[in-house]
A and B are shown apart, each in its own frame.
Chain A
Amino acid sequence: MERVIQFENIGLRYGADAEVLRDINFSLSAGGFYFLTGASGAGKTSLLKLLYLAQRPTRGVLRLFGEDVVMMHRGRLPGFRRRIGVVFQDFRLVPHLSAFDNIALPLRVAGIEEKDIAGPVEEMLAWVGLGGREGALPASLSGGEQQRIAIARAVIGRPDILVADEPTGNVDAEMAKRLIALFEALNRLGTTIVIATHDLPLIGQIAHAQMMRLDKGRLIDPTGALRFPPASPARDDRAGLPLGKPQ
């Protein structure tokens, strides 16, 4: 199985402060589904930042898609970032862009032609339950709606890796279920999913997922043996997801 993410003795510190991540070693397989858990301040967000290339580690080797990104020229990083979808904890929607334009942003950044953008974006909007709100600005949307836009933006380009920080934190149980189904469908199409969450029932919904736990900047049992709680039975609500790659 191809290793899409490899961390070798990774350490991260901000300025002269103590390391927030220490001696992190793990590798994630292509097409895997991973949860990252840990108490607040354990370093989950910092680890995700390394994954979506918002930060470089202060020591160690970090390989993405087999290439060392620590020493990589920064001019090559955008190409890697386009292969990674990110759902930020604080959504980070562009405030002056409509829901439609926010979701279309990764496609436009990738240079996809305008005629190939409208269809997938409208389909994705409908799927996250925001059909008809294309023109709404983020400020006019609720927290949950903003989160759904952020998720739609992260998955629309069918990334090779999806990194999500508390992606179901602001939505109701029904919507959380739909979003997890979306992540699963994306995962079935080959996307590696990494979700940082406190939501243990959410973890239980994915039968084949593995869990990594961070504690005070160290990774505890990266093998997934500490998986908890046990997986729930497979569900049948995975059909009809709008994940066709835009042409």
Chain B
Amino acid sequence: MTSARSSRAARNRWLPEGRRGPMPWIIGIMMFLTVLSAACALGLGHALTRLRGDLAGGYTIQIVEANAAKRMQAVRGISAYLDSARGVRTYKVVPEAQMLAQLAPWLGEDARADELPIPALIDLSLRPAAGSARVTQIEQAVKRILPSARIDAHQGYLAPVEGLMRTLMWLAGGLVALMLLMTGAVVVLAANSAHAAHRGTIDIIHMLGATDLQLARLFQRRIALDAALGAMAGTVSAAALLWLLDSNLHVSQSELAGLIRLPWRSVAILFGLPLFAVLVAALTARITVMRALERNL
């Protein structure tokens, strides 16, 4: 065991242990941005899933009728239908007082329902198994009771926001892919430059019978160490920033905080990114040096 370790140590000295170049810094900065982008993508993805889950099966029935008596009659008719309709989980007629309270900032405190053509609203929640055919069926039944009534899906209200969130999520995901690609490109440059700098030593060791793999491993180890150093620094910095943001959101006790808080699975993915980056760096270094060596005899 000790002999194997000392053999490895002796092999690792084949290339001079010079001053570390800028690679750990570059990898560190890229890892910092990668982790932030990935956190953004995962957070948005998580928020989208939560939003879809919260709004799935939610509908509002609007009963638009200026005549208050007819409006109330329609509400009673529709309620009676919903009591027996299949696929309905719950429904609730929104109290007129609640609607007036919500409209007070615009209409004034002394606004009266019998003076204003305010529609009646029914919040409807369907069972998850209820498909679009069931929704159409309910809509047709409601329109038979009052042709001017209409059903709006809650998911429809958030469609533009959802589209924006999805776009941002893919953008952040694209940035992660781009950063990892850039990491590979930086490693290719670093490996080629290291190979050129140590060409004399490599030629000697090659002439003594070293295989391409033996030589490539020297570079692979060195670049993997640089990448690990940079990835660790970048990840720790990004994690600290994310923790700070999370703490601030938590203190604000906003609903947003709960919506974008990352589950453990996503946190594990974030901490897996630096490992993946080190693997990418090591593999890229190995392939690059092997290719460079193949150009010689």
Interfacial residues, chain A to chain B (CB-CB below 8 A):
52-56, 74-75, 77-79, 81-82, 86, 92-97, 101, 104-106, 108-110, 113-115, 153
Residue B98 CB within 8 A of the other chain: no
Complex Cα distance, B13 from A94, in Å, reads: 11
Please give me the residue from chain B that is nearest to A91 by CB atom.
B204
A–B complex contacts, Cβ < 8 Å, 13 sampled: A75-B212, A81-B206, A81-B208, A86-B208, A92-B200, A92-B203, A92-B207, A96-B16, A97-B13, A105-B14, A109-B214, A113-B3, A115-B3
Contact mask for chain B residues 211-254; partner A; CB cutoff 8 A; 1 contact, 0 none: 11010000000000000000000000000000000000000000
Contacts of A115 in B (CB 8 A): 3
Contact partner, A78, options B6, B201, B210, B294, Cβ 8 Å:
B210
Is the Cβ of A81 less than 8 Å from the Cβ of B209?
yes
Complex Cα distance, B198 from A97, in Å, reads: 13
Complex Cα distance, B54 from A6, in Å, reads: 82
Is the Cβ of A78 less than 8 Å from the Cβ of B211?
yes
Interface size on B, residues (CB 8 A): 24
Complex Cα distance, B12 from A97, in Å, reads: 11
Is the Cβ of B16 less than 8 Å from the Cβ of A55?
no
Is the Cβ of B297 less than 8 Å from the Cβ of A77?
yes
Is the Cβ of B204 less than 8 Å from the Cβ of A94?
yes
Please give me the residue from chain B that is nearest to A53 by CB atom.
B297
Is the Cβ of B10 less than 8 Å from the Cβ of A54?
no
Is the Cβ of B209 less than 8 Å from the Cβ of A106?
yes
Is the Cβ of B205 less than 8 Å from the Cβ of A114?
no
Complex Cα distance, B15 from A95, in Å, reads: 10
Contact partner, A109, options B3, B209, B212, Cβ 8 Å:
B209
Q: For residue B194, give the distance in angstroms from its CB to the closest CB of chain A.
A: 14
Whether A113 touches B297, Cβ cut-off 8 Å, given contacts A54-B207, A94-B205, A101-B13, is no
Contacts of B132 in A (CB 8 A): none
Residue B84 CB within 8 A of the other chain: no
Is the Cβ of B297 less than 8 Å from the Cβ of A109?
no
* Besides the known contacts A75-B212, A94-B201, 8 further A-B residue pairs in the complex with CB atoms under 8 A apart: A78-B206, A78-B211, A92-B204, A95-B201, A105-B204, A106-B209, A109-B210, A113-B7
Is the Cβ of A114 less than 8 Å from the Cβ of B297?
no
Complex Cα distance, B204 from A54, in Å, reads: 10
Complex Cα distance, B297 from A75, in Å, reads: 9
Interface centre among B16, B204, B207, B209, by most chain A C-beta atoms within 10 angstroms, is B209
Q: Is the interface of B mostly helix, strand, loop or mixed?
A: helix
Whether A114 touches B6, Cβ cut-off 8 Å, given contacts A74-B297, A109-B214, is yes
Interfacial residues, chain B to chain A (CB-CB below 8 A):
3-4, 6-7, 10-11, 13-14, 16, 200-201, 203-212, 214, 294, 297
Contacts of A96 in B (CB 8 A): 13, 16, 201
Is the Cβ of B3 less than 8 Å from the Cβ of A114?
yes
Top 4 A-B pairs ranked by shortest CB distance?
A82-B209, A81-B209, A96-B16, A114-B6
Is the Cβ of A109 less than 8 Å from the Cβ of B10?
no
Complex Cα distance, B210 from A74, in Å, reads: 12
Complex Cα distance, B206 from A37, in Å, reads: 27
Contacts of A55 in B (CB 8 A): 297
Is the Cβ of B7 less than 8 Å from the Cβ of A52?
no
Is the Cβ of B7 less than 8 Å from the Cβ of A114?
yes
Contacts of A77 in B (CB 8 A): 297
Is the Cβ of B7 less than 8 Å from the Cβ of A109?
no
Is the Cβ of B207 less than 8 Å from the Cβ of A114?
no
Complex Cα distance, B209 from A86, in Å, reads: 11
Q: For residue A145, give the distance in angstroms from its CB to the closest CB of chain B.
A: 18
Is the Cβ of B3 less than 8 Å from the Cβ of A86?
no
Contact partner, B10, options A52, A86, A94, A101, Cβ 8 Å:
A101
